[in-house]
A and B are shown apart, each in its own frame.
Chain A
């Protein structure tokens, strides 16, 4: 019996796990994918929002500034890459200039500090690549950018270190209240069914990709666990989880946003801070922002889609994003793009975050749309207080081990490198040429609390394959290291999510001669 089961290991679920790991509780963190941060938490604009955008009466407005401060604090504490870049909201005409005034006042009401509206010429002195047509802009000094998947992972790692049970590839299929606890039907996510023969299919299951000693390994495909309290942090699926225990109260409106990632080395200096257009009813608009890796993100658009898992990119949206982004940064060179991706945001019919006690011992942290990443730590604080109000006894763990330290070769000062590599020879072998990521960093990632099981899992932890060649050179070597360190068959190693296997067999295997 768990005290609390958290459904969903996105940024909200992981923030709650981090928060609860500080108390004497038995907590399960249930995730249907093979890693944390596999939904909107990994495919977003990676911004720590300043807090001027949401209206003050909303939960988003109430939690944004608290979340922002907590984000920066956690990034420091957990060694998550981040940068306080500040951001601009730009206006092209008088009407938009008026909107800036509204945002400024909203920001002040929400607790933002240092906001000011500056004239176009002054703005261009600080961001020379911005359009000459910009008449004014709102400066938000406290906002910034972070590595969103590392942020999520860091909180999850500390949680697991302090006793939280992480259950990946586990989908929740049913929830029923049994007098004093929930019975949670779970299903271990299945195999890659298109594999040609039974043998390969078996090898390729996500099951085989689980590092057995690190996580709870249920021995059958469908089973039940029990928990006294349930937290719904299921993101884009949060309405479905809600509907398992309560009458429908909101509906997720899955909204896809597509992006370009531009190579910073090729693009040169584009912008030093996050650039937003004036927000409209549809959202915050197409931003151009620096990433903590020295690249640039351009996007997202906002398109309501039917299939919640559809993260494909489309020609029309990319063309649209390019056109809108060039209005703000006219000389933007999208030929320096190294990757396109899309994320599905949990917009909803409710309009605000849906944070409610919706049934006995059941708390919804649902419909968390933008600025959800920024608000996550504040949402977790709210969740903890709600659990306490619901009667969950909370006693501080005496031996809580917080903090986190990651060695990044690139950050080691020049004069210390030689000695460091002498002592740790694995850091002397560069695996990812584009980003200068060493074998030492990959092996360290494999030994952390939640080891990666896929090439992209390593990418999210160590930063391999993030650069210009997008893993063309390092992919095979990373696969080799995962196989070696985890003792798994290379044929089972996935590129990314469950079932995304890379290799389909060995060459010269007679079974593959017939097509």
Chain B
């Protein structure tokens, strides 16, 4: 397929009929990837009638469309799917649901308002519009960290790509980006692209990770590196890129525990391509400008148990909230946010309940140095049914069994055993309503502890 051919699709938007846009909606979902699709569908199932999904790309599905490998859906659909297949199932559910979809369109600004939020959006099809919506679900996903963010010394030659950009060129546009490749960072997209480049005939010389442990899922280390004899250098980084026009050479060095390169450990690789897989950053510029309170650790909004942000009626789910390893969890999380958005709207319509939840008390989840972050960060007991699922990542890898402990002051509220944990794999536990009801303090402290 040539690059130009993707161009004709903009009005098709996954074959859906052109829409009559309204000026006001009950819910606008920003982003038509797995998170947005899950939230919209769930909100529909929970009673909302006027829903709009705004998607930047020319079709729905988000980043799943370029993830042509398998491994998606084991938890949610109970079978192994490719990214496009997983997306197709979510998109298929929209059929006949009269949810408005606007592709090739971008929300430029959210102006929060107590009664009805205002959105400014731009669309190749619908033009520049101002629309109102009672509720908003933020589902913009994330972007990749770049070379500038990690300051790799060397020239500015062509041939340096983030793994996701390379994935788009190879899987969507049908072009090869290089022949001799080195991967910096062991995030999942980098690992997936290592295998992909080999399958397309390139030579992948190494994957280099600055941390002493891999960043991606264990299954990807095995299936994408080990199965293809690609060496993984832990505690190593790229310290120099050479080449005038295109990358010609890369120097890799071991790092000490302060991540400084160690002299004398230089290895030089003759490569024409460097793929970066050095982290993902939730894409929250819209949220920030709207004034949503942010969590410095997740780079996503601070949310309550139902995905609601600090601004009433604005919810967040998926990678815009925190970076997930598995799309299956994005789907469940977004279904929760969609349902919560529906409940919010229906409650607004039922005037007797309007002020019911104002100044509602909540418990803050706080963490010690063993835990990187939690989502949600705040729990309102009155809002949960039986329990609340808490997602978190540990700060360092644990190879022996440990327990996750939630404490209210000194008292242990809940404790969970885990045989193995690593920062590269998101963990989750469920706190029961009964356990939370007894909490006396304002905070609940989560930490990793030895098993006694």
Kindly supply a per-residue 1/0 record for chain A positions 52-85, scoring 1 wherever the CB is within 8 Å of any chain B CB and 0 otherwise: 0000000000000000000000000000000000
* Contacts of A489-509 to chain B: CB distance below 8 A: 490-491, 494-509
B201 contact from A318, A335, A512, Cβ within 8 A: A512
| Cβ contact within 8 Å between A428 and B124 | yes
Q: Smallest Cβ distance from B157 to chain A, in angstroms?
A: 6
Report chain A residues within 8 Å CB of B153: 312-315, 318
User: With A430-B56, A504-B272, A507-B200 given, is the CB distance from A472 to B151 under 8 Å?
Assistant: no
| Cβ contact within 8 Å between B143 and A469 | yes
Report chain A residues within 8 Å CB of B56: 430, 433
| Cβ contact within 8 Å between B122 and A500 | no
B285 at the interface (CB under 8 A from A): yes
B82 at the interface (CB under 8 A from A): no
In angstroms, Cα B246 to Cα A494, docked, is 10
| Cβ contact within 8 Å between A476 and B165 | yes
| Cβ contact within 8 Å between B128 and A420 | yes
| Cβ contact within 8 Å between A506 and B175 | yes
| Cβ contact within 8 Å between B127 and A470 | no
* Contacts of B129-144 to chain A: CB distance below 8 A: 129-130, 143-144
A448 at the interface (CB under 8 A from B): no
A3 at the interface (CB under 8 A from B): no
Closest to A495 in B: B158
Count how many chain B residues have C-beta atoms less than 8 Å from C-beta atoms of the other chain.
65
| Cβ contact within 8 Å between B201 and A513 | yes
B98 at the interface (CB under 8 A from A): no
User: With A315-B261, A515-B202 given, is the CB distance from A472 to B144 under 8 Å?
Assistant: yes
Q: Smallest Cβ distance from A189 to chain B, in angstroms?
A: 11
* Contacts of B1-18 to chain A: CB distance below 8 A: 2-4, 6-7, 10
Report chain B residues within 8 Å CB of A422: 127-128
User: With A315-B153, A315-B261, A512-B176 given, is the CB distance from A261 to B148 under 8 Å?
Assistant: yes
Report chain B residues within 8 Å CB of A113: none
Kindly supply a per-residue 1/0 record for chain B positions 232-250, scoring 1 wherever the CB is within 8 Å of any chain A CB and 0 otherwise: 0000000111101110100
Among B108, B143, B172, B175, max chain A CB count under 10 A is at B175
In angstroms, Cα B152 to Cα A337, docked, is 12
A499 contact from B154, B179, B246, Cβ within 8 A: B246
User: With A418-B127, A418-B129, A504-B178 given, is the CB distance from A490 to B156 under 8 Å?
Assistant: no
* Contacts of A273-332 to chain B: CB distance below 8 A: 309-315, 318
| Cβ contact within 8 Å between B175 and A503 | yes
Report chain A residues within 8 Å CB of B154: 312-313
Report chain B residues within 8 Å CB of A504: 175-179, 272
Closest to B130 in A: A418
A377 at the interface (CB under 8 A from B): no
* Contacts of B102-156 to chain A: CB distance below 8 A: 104, 106, 108, 120, 122-125, 127-130, 143-144, 146-149, 151, 153-156
| Cβ contact within 8 Å between B124 and A429 | yes
In angstroms, Cα B365 to Cα A276, docked, is 44
Report chain A residues within 8 Å CB of B248: 194
Q: Smallest Cβ distance from A197 to chain B, in angstroms?
A: 12
B148 contact from A337, A428, A506, Cβ within 8 A: A337
B179 contact from A310, A340, A491, A515, Cβ within 8 A: A515
Among B147, B151, B281, max chain A CB count under 10 A is at B151
User: With A340-B148, A468-B143, A483-B4 given, is the CB distance from A425 to B244 under 8 Å?
Assistant: no
User: With A313-B153, A470-B148, A504-B176 given, is the CB distance from A421 to B170 under 8 Å?
Assistant: no
In angstroms, Cα B150 to Cα A260, docked, is 11
Q: With contacts defined as CB atoms under 8 Å apart, how many contacts are there between chain A and chain B in the complex?
A: 176
In angstroms, Cα B69 to Cα A413, docked, is 45
* Contacts of B162-220 to chain A: CB distance below 8 A: 162, 164-165, 168-170, 172-180, 200-203
Report chain B residues within 8 Å CB of A473: 143, 165
Q: For chain B, what secondary structure do more than half of its interface residues adopt (helix, strand, loop), or is it mixed? A: mixed
A161 at the interface (CB under 8 A from B): no
A103 at the interface (CB under 8 A from B): no
| Cβ contact within 8 Å between A433 and B177 | no
Q: Smallest Cβ distance from A335 to chain B, in angstroms?
A: 8
Q: Smallest Cβ distance from B175 to chain A, in angstroms?
A: 4
| Cβ contact within 8 Å between B151 and A340 | yes
A121 at the interface (CB under 8 A from B): no
Report chain B residues within 8 Å CB of A502: 158-159, 169, 177
B288 at the interface (CB under 8 A from A): yes
Closest to B162 in A: A472
| Cβ contact within 8 Å between A192 and B245 | yes
Report chain B residues within 8 Å CB of A269: none
In angstroms, Cα B126 to Cα A428, docked, is 8
* Contacts of A172-202 to chain B: CB distance below 8 A: 192, 194, 196
Q: Smallest Cβ distance from B335 to chain A, in angstroms?
A: 26
| Cβ contact within 8 Å between A512 and B106 | no
A382 at the interface (CB under 8 A from B): no
| Cβ contact within 8 Å between A309 and B244 | yes
A484 at the interface (CB under 8 A from B): yes
Query: Across chains A and B, which 6 residue pairs bring their CB atoms closest together, nearest first?
Result: A499-B245, A339-B148, A500-B158, A495-B158, A480-B3, A429-B124
- Known interface pairs A417-B128, A515-B201; 13 further A-B residue pairs with C-beta atoms within 8 A, sorted by A's residue number: A196-B179, A422-B128, A425-B124, A429-B122, A471-B165, A472-B164, A473-B165, A491-B175, A500-B246, A501-B158, A502-B177, A503-B177, A509-B176
A positions within 8 Å CB-CB of B: 192, 194, 196, 260-261, 265, 309-315, 318, 335, 337-341, 414, 417-418, 420-422, 425, 428-430, 433-434, 436, 438, 468-473, 475-476, 479-480, 483-484, 490-491, 494-509, 512-515
Complex A-B: 24 CB contacts under 8 Å: A194-B246, A260-B151, A261-B148, A312-B153, A312-B155, A312-B240, A313-B151, A315-B151, A315-B239, A318-B151, A337-B148, A337-B151, A338-B146, A340-B147, A425-B127, A428-B128, A429-B10, A429-B104, A433-B106, A468-B281, A468-B285, A476-B169, A484-B3, A507-B170
